[in-house]
Amino acid sequence: MKDIEQIVRPLEDKLLAAMAEVQKIKKLINGYYEVMGEPIKYPDVGQESVQGAAPRPDEYYGKPLATVITEVLQKRKQANLGSATLDELFSELISGGFKFAGKNDGIQKRGLAISMSKNPKFHGLDNGTWGLRAWYNVKDKQTKDEPEENIDATIEETKD
């Protein structure tokens, strides 16, 4: 049974992305009908739930935190959902069986936020959501060596 799940998982991910694309196209078509003053063609848009969006109860169990967050964000990107709030990420991880350290939700969420802010793979947006740094055209954080090199260059210039 486990082998079947491993084989089917990529197909389900493709299905999820395709269903999100269908929703996007239906919304676009409805927009044209609205502009023309006609009744919309797909009144069910927004009411359809994307099947397979919820993780399996054991999907994230035993996996490293950064790996799990990356998987969740990539799934969201495929479904055209993009970045996620800390609460959305936390809920997804809990429902997928990830085990956090800490006595209560508040401590666990704080640990998640700290871990994400320290990992250069993730990027916190100004609107309070998180995405993968690779999605955005942002410079990497400066390392401790960079400012020292600039100081050395300034010292060399003043000696001349």
pLDDT tens sequence for the chain (160 residues): 567 777 877 888 788 788 888 888 888 888 888 888 888 887 766 544 443 467 888 889 999 999 999 999 998 888 778 899 999 999 999 999 999 988 898 999 999 999 999 999 999 999 999 999 999 988 765 544 445 444 444 455 555 5
Is the model's pTM score more than 0.75? no
Phi, psi of 116 (to 5 degrees): -70, -40
Question: In the chain, what are the domain boundaries?
Answer: 1-53, 62-160
Name the token pair of 158. Answer: 């003043």
Residue 75 near residue 13 (C-beta atoms within 8 A): yes
Q: What is the CATH number of domain 62-160?
A: 1.10.10.10
